[in-house]
């Protein structure tokens, strides 16, 4: 590995922090880190350091956390570092071309999909929501578009039937490290043969909002089950019953209909789960969470509040 090449790392999430730590442990020379400003969290609105910020402090790496990537100050500060390359992993914003042009060896982005499928901010969730059998990680040279640059390397992986976004995220961390290291080796030895993305196969994702996770019972059981897995661990699928937002952490499909049941109707409440009619089959709600409470199995909830869910009532 070429140790003289100086790199600026950009990211903010736990996913990106794992890759930053991996690069440091593999003696890649990270001379600075670019990460968004730390945000207030919780009722007390206490400022919480993001995972990349914490790693950078631990290893005494120079930190830039601009509020605006288009400001002249951040451009000047980054240029002063005289880095050869920037690596971006889950930063969350599009970089101005002016910043991309600073680095002689370019800017490399690690993206959690098999590009050009699922460009944008939520590729892991989108793969699960659409029932994809496989996904992966892709490194690209960044350009002014959204995840549209030439592909350096891709590693694919299967998506298991019951996999949540958290489980898939953890799997992609493992292969992401391999993909990033292999891509750097190609670049360092000047064997960076790239392929242009096929624009005919492009699909896009959107930024996830909390309201996206509200369960719509007029969807099919398989669509709802995917929503529950895709939005685990954030923002977590939920439904409103008796004016309470109840989160759903786990579910399964029961391939039967209850005669005469309406969409959204509670058909059964037993130790197997809370069974609710969807557009086609019933879905079993197996793990739930009430506001301010712990995640519990539905069976355990049933032991304490057997009469809470009324058979025949409709969840809107």
Helices 14-25 and 51-58, axial angle in degrees (round to 10): 20
Span 30-39, mean pLDDT?
Answer: 93
- pLDDT value at position 46? 81
- pLDDT value at position 64? 97
Calculate Rg over the CA atoms of the chain: 23
How many other C-beta atoms are found inside a 10 Å radius of the C-beta of residue 233?
11
CB 152 within 8 A of CB 196: no
Q: What is the residue-averaged pLDDT of the chain? A: 94
Q: Each residue of 130-161: pLDDT tens digit?
A: 999 999 999 999 999 999 999 999 999 999 99
- Dihedral angle over CA of 26, 31, 37, 43, nearest 10: 40
Span 267-289, mean pLDDT?
Answer: 95
pLDDT classification of 305: cutoffs 50, 70, 90: confident
Output the pTM of the full model: 0.94
Of all residues in the chain, what percent carry a pLDDT higher than 90? 86
Q: 258 vs 124, 215, 242, 306, CA distance in Å?
A: 34, 20, 23, 21
159 vs 155: CA distance, rounded Å:
13
Span 87-116, mean pLDDT?
Answer: 96
All residues at 6 or more sequence positions from 117 whose CB lies less than 8 Å from its CB, including other chains: 123, 132, 201, 202, 203
Q: What are phi and psi of 34, to 5 degrees?
A: -110, 120
Which domains, ranges and CATH numbers included, belong to the chain? 6-201 (3.40.50.170), 211-304 (3.10.25.10)
- pLDDT value at position 3? 56
- pLDDT value at position 303? 86
pLDDT classification of 188: cutoffs 50, 70, 90: confident
């Amino acid at each position: 590995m070429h140790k003289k090449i100086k790199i600026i790392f950009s990211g903010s999430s736990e996913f990106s922090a794992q890759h930053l730590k991996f690069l440091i442990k593999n003696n890649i020379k990270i001379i600075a880190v670019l990460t968004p400003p730390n945000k207030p969290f919780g009722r007390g609105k206490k400022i919480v350091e993001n995972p990349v910020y914490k790693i950078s402090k631990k290893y005494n790496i120079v930190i830039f956390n601009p509020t605006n990537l288009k400001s002249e100050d951040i451009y000047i500060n980054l240029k002063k570092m005289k880095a050869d390359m920037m690596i971006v992993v889950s930063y969350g914003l599009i970089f101005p071309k002016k910043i991309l042009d600073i680095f002689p060896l370019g800017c490399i982005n690690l993206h959690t999909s098999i590009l050009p499928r699922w460009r944008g901010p939520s590729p892991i969730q989108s793969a699960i929501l659409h029932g994809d059998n496989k996904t992966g990680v892709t490194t690209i040279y960044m350009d002014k578009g959204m995840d549209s640059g030439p592909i350096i390397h891709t590693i694919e992986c299967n998506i298991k039937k019951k996999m949540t976004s958290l489980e898939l995220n953890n799997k992609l961390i493992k292969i992401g490290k391999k993909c990033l290291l292999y891509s750097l080796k190609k670049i360092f030895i000047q064997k960076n043969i790239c392929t242009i993305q096929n624009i005919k196969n492009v699909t896009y994702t959107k930024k996830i909002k909390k309201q996206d996770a509200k369960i719509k019972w007029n969807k099919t059981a398989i669509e709802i089950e995917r929503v529950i897995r895709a939005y685990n661990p954030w923002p977590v699928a939920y439904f409103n019953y008796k004016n309470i937002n109840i989160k759903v952490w786990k579910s399964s499909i029961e391939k039967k209909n209850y005669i005469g049941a309406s969409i959204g109707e509670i058909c059964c409440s037993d130790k197997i789960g809370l069974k609710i009619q969807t557009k086609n089959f019933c879905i079993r709600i197996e793990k739930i969470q009430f506001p301010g409470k712990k995640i519990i199995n539905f069976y355990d909830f049933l032991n304490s509040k057997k009469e809470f869910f009324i058979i025949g009532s409709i969840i809107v």
